[in-house]
Homo-oligomer: A and B are copies of this chain.
Amino acid sequence: MRVSFLGTGDAGGVPLYGCDCVACLRARADATYRRRNCSALIETRTTRILLDAGLTDLTDRFPPGSLSAILVTHFHPDHVQGLLHLRWGRGAPIPVFAPPDSEGCADLYKNHGLLQFQALAKFEAVTVGDLCITPLPLIHSRPTFGYAIEDPLGARFAYLTDTSGLPPRTESFLQAWQPDGMAIDCSHPPREQAPRNHNDFGRALDCLNTAGIGAKGGAKGGAKGGAESGAGWLTHLGHDFDQWEMGNPVKLPAGVCIARDGETVDLRGRLNKGAAQ
């Protein structure tokens, strides 16, 4: 499957309105450093899924019929704001899968228009096109799901925002599932105390480690490890993270990188790798 990081920013984005820190100045001078509302696109030959809908230009980016479905992690505005406009269109309904959340956001449920909201249940996999998707509960201030997504060739991608750490059952799932790629909430630079709703840098690496990615001395509890271990992307990044990273260049664990808006990755699964060997 192909994974495209459409946005890699936290709710305020980079540059943050009115901020003149070095990271915000850099992003104003060079648009390649901008971070828009966190979202990603998952594509196979037959299926195209938008992960979160906080970008406000969805009607321009995705012509009618171009999306198989939208997966929503949770109903905070920076993750669903783009739906507020998209809903008023004409044409075929767009399935929107989301965690059970009786409130939703603004009047999205009441005036859903084109959107067909469907609440998912934790760990109960659904199929969209040729993708198998398992909702994984996360730790955030609203009901929030990450998603474990597998394509027909066995490529496995986990998308986990927004979260502060991981619940034990989600950890167990990831230890057993061993994703080939995983994007993880890393809103903050290192902090002594755990932030309440988002990961800082250290906790983001811990989450990847749990899934056998970027582990010191090989995968933790996983079967693959070593050269076979997956790739990790830090995402949902705030301007203070970028500011910290500019002043403190860190050596990231093997296979882990800081995601950038517009970055695209072709993810191969274990079956594929086996066939190529």
Contacts and interface: CB of A to CB of B under 8 A. Distances in A.
A96 to B, nearest CB: 15
Interface stretch (A39-47, A86-94, A121-129, A166-174): A86-94
A167 to B, nearest CB: 23
A228 to B, nearest CB: 40
Nearest to A239: B90
B11 A88 contact: yes
Contacts of A81: 56, 81, 84-85
A72 B97 CA distance: 32
B88 A106 contact: no
Given A13-B85, A81-B81, A81-B84, A19 B107 contact: no
Given A78-B84, A89-B12, A64 B17 contact: yes
Nearest to A19: B90
Interface residues of A, number: 25
A3 interface: no
Max count, chain B CB within 10 A of own CB: residue among A11, A77, A86: A77
A84 B88 contact: no
Interface in A46-80: 56, 59, 64, 76-78
Contact of A18 (B56, B76, B77, B89): B89
B88 A12 contact: yes
